[in-house]
Structure 1
Amino acid sequence: MTTTMITGANKSLGLETTRRLIEAGHTVYAGMRDLATGAAVRALGAHPVQLDVTDQASVDAALGSLPELDVLVNNAGILGTSFGVDDLNPEALQEVLDTNVLGIVRVTQAALPLLRLSRQPVIVNVSSGVGWPRFLSTEGHDEFTVPAIPYAASKAAVIALTVQYAKNLPTFRINASDPGYTATDFNGHGGHQTVTEGTDATVALALVAADGPTGQFHNRQGRIHY
């Protein structure tokens, strides 16, 4: 049996990832800030775990409660409150980085002792095409019209830290996923993809074999190349 932890698992992409990995045979621990929001994951058969990725004590307690761990999906993220230049300040950037980047580091570092005991350790970091400069700067891409600086910067950092973790942990499979423009609370359900389509890359990367890719960035069509 494969044991998986998913952060931000109580709704949207995290909830759909939970559903699909349970369907694939995983035992899923569903991390969320407030256990009162865990009805949907309980209904799927997942195990809700209180986990606030911005709180080291919460992270340590959550990972310390797991009996074992094979797959970590770092899904938790926020958009933040700055969507242009005029409303941008260091505090707005710091808030987004604390969740979207430092949160991944907190959870991953706390998970490493358990993952190192796994025969096939896997980490998937949910990033975004909004963190990919080529998409941001190319007209015709969904990402081109996004003006927000903190969110884009945070997701670019997620891609870079994924590559570096993969280089440092060569026996792991560590990749980043791009959900694409998916209808979620993030965009007022304005995205053109379903949550199932938006989790295709994350689920595929969570299910990679021991000889699968590592240090790569994928969307539902496959690897995103430079």
Structure 2
Amino acid sequence: MSEQTIALVTGANKGIGYEIAAGLGALGWTVGVGARDQERRENAVAKLRAAGIDAFGVPLDVTDDASVAGAARLVEEHGGRLDVLVNNAGTTGNAPQMPTTVDVSTVRAAVETNVIGVIRVTNAMLPLLRRSASPRIVNMSSSVGSLTLQSAPGAEVGPISAAYSPSKTFLNAVTVQYARELRDTDILINAGCPGYCATDLNGFRGVRTPEQGAAIALRLATLPDDGPTGRFFDDAGEVAW
């Protein structure tokens, strides 16, 4: 990739998303900081710029068509193309999520952000990604979305969840379908698990830092042209779907 690589990270104003933006920026890339909250977005951009990173704010609500279309126009204005898209924005949804008692609105909200939002943003950015010599898409998933791990005897992969975990399973499945459709292009698309990181999504109960969680995104964003596509990885290697 060229020295002027342009990346967009959704949900980048804090936590893992911010650390992904910081990590990509440290490579000398131009990084779009996608976020809904104006104040947090501007603060994140200011902090990144203070660290010498070429960052710009991108107002972005992944659940809103007009917002995503506006984000695509803004990214185009900053370089005419997009080299890397990291779909990081996500939500755990309200608790409880026991399948026998969950409010269906909780399931709907998780899918709207974690799956439909990814599709909405990816499709809006695809024309810009197609202009890149080495386009990469990273979908931030979770090991709790692995049906193999969830169904293993004695499995303890996260709490019982009828919204968040299945939304990540759905995201993994969508990632595979994108890879199938795009296999004759230069676009590589993969899912990455950051591990159980201490962020506000889990009340900071995680055992890994956001910076550690960002590492898998950096790896998948910088894959060589003959790298994998349609796969699921964490720091230890490939994760079973």
Shared fold by TM > 0.5?
A: yes
Matched, 1:50 2:59: yes
**1:37-64 deviation line (CA, Å, top 9, x unaligned):** 1202321122111000000000000111
Partner of 1:94: 108
Aligned pair partner of 2:91 in 78, 99, 105: 78
> Residue 194 in 1 paired to residue 198 in 2?
no
Q: For 1:136 and 1:225, how far apart are their aligned partners in 2? A: 10
Matched residues in 1 for 2:101 and 2:20: separation? 33
Distance in 1, matches of 2:27 and 2:190, equals: 19
Structure 2 unaligned residues grouped into runs of 5+:
50-54
Deviates more, 1:79-88 or 1:151-160: 79-88
Deviation at 1:87, TM superposition (A): 4.0
Question: What does 1:203-222 correspond to in 2, within 5 Å?
Answer: 203-222=218-237
Kept after mapping to 1: 8 A contact 2:92/2:110: yes
| Stretch moving more, 85-94 or 13-22 | 85-94
DSSP 3-state at the match of 1:65: helix
Counterpart Cα distance in 1 of 2:214 and 2:115: 20
TM (norm. structure 2) is 0.89
Map of 1:15 onto structure 2:
18
Structure 1: where are the runs of 5+ without partners? Answer: none
Q: Distance in 2 between matches of 1:71 and 1:195?
A: 20
% identity of equivalent residues: 43
* Alignment of 1:166 onto 2:166: no
The one-letter code sitting in structure 1 at the alignment partner of 2:82 is L
Letter in 2 for 1:8: G
Q: Distance in 1 between matches of 2:152 and 2:204?
A: 24
Distance 1:62 1:87 in 2: 37
Q: Indicate how the Cα distance of structure 1 residues 186 and 84 shifts in structure 2: closer, same or farther if over 3 A, else same.
A: same
| One-letter amino acid of the structure 2 residue matched with residue 44 of structure 1 | L
* TM-score (ref. length: structure 1): 0.95
Change (3 A) 1:138 1:183: farther
Alignment RMSD (CA, Å): 1.5
- In the TM superposition, 1:150-161 aligns within 5 A as 150-161=163-174
Pairing partner for 1:135 from 109, 131, 149: 149
Residues paired across the two proteins, number: 225
Residues in 2 aligned to 1:49 and 1:186: alpha-carbon distance in whole angstroms: 22
Distance in 2 (CA, whole Å) between partners of 1:181 and 1:137 is 19
Q: Is the 8 A contact 1:176 1:218 kept in 2?
A: yes
> 1:64 is matched with which residue: 67, 73, 96?
73
Q: Which residue identity is paired with 1:25?
A: G
Determine if contact 2:87/2:137 at 8 Å carries over to the other structure: yes
- Please list the CA deviations of residues 158-196 of structure 1 after superposition, one character each: whole Å capped at 9, or x if unmatched: 111111101111221100001111111111111111112
**Is 1:40 the equivalent of 2:40?**
no
- Give the counterpart letter for 2:179 in structure 1: A
